[in-house]
Amino acid sequence: MKKEDCYFLGKITRRHGLQGNVFLKLDTDQPEMYNKLDSIFIEINGLLVPFFVAKQSWSKGDTLIISYKNSTEALVDQTIGRDVFMPLSALPKLSGNKFYYHEVIGFEIREVDGKTCGNIVSVNDQTAQHYFILDLAGKEIIIPIIKDWILELNREQKYLKMQLPEGLMDVFLVPSKKDE
């Protein structure tokens, strides 16, 4: 399994008890989607290694307690602090204007009048307000991700049509290094 075929699920944070269980801290808005994990991929030395889940239970809202099938103490120790991934194919298909952040990378953002705002190069979800980072002719533009602003998502033609407030493009235009 290649990392580009997967999405980040969370991190093994520490041991739980003496039975070889570990805490898996999920990085998701919908932890309930992970009520029954059969397997996970843990990144070890740059490789995604499959681990089969023997049992799991909830610790708190977004943290699972899991145990691996056929695990040893050394194997459990090797997974502590490691990132956990799942195959992209495990995600349910979304329709309408709903999307996963990874799937819109490369999409064009268009205003209602059809004018391009640029192409999405990345998504920042590490702040309270998530936002798209766009490239428009070498300039970096930041557009907040606000559900009510998204009018249309076209997966075939790879664009998002958005109703942006007047002047927003001017406010969020970040000067490039060569302009400074």
Q: Collapsing DSSP states into helix, strand and coil, what is residue 104?
A: helix
**Stretch 145-154: mean pLDDT, rounded?**
94
pLDDT tens figures, 153-173:
999 999 999 999 887 776 655
Mean pLDDT for all residues in the chain: 88
Phi, psi of 124 (to 5 degrees): -100, 115
Separation CA 17–CA 21 (nearest Å):
7
Separation CA 146–CA 163 (nearest Å):
10
Percent of the chain with pLDDT over 90: 52
For Cα atoms 90, 35, 30, give the angle at the middle one, nearest 5 degrees.
70
Domains of the chain with bracketed CATH = 3-90 (2.40.30.60), 101-179 (2.30.30.240)
Band of residue 174 on the pLDDT scale cut at 50, 70, 90:
low
Is the pTM above the cut of 0.75? Answer: no
Q: Collapsing DSSP states into helix, strand and coil, what is residue 31?
A: helix
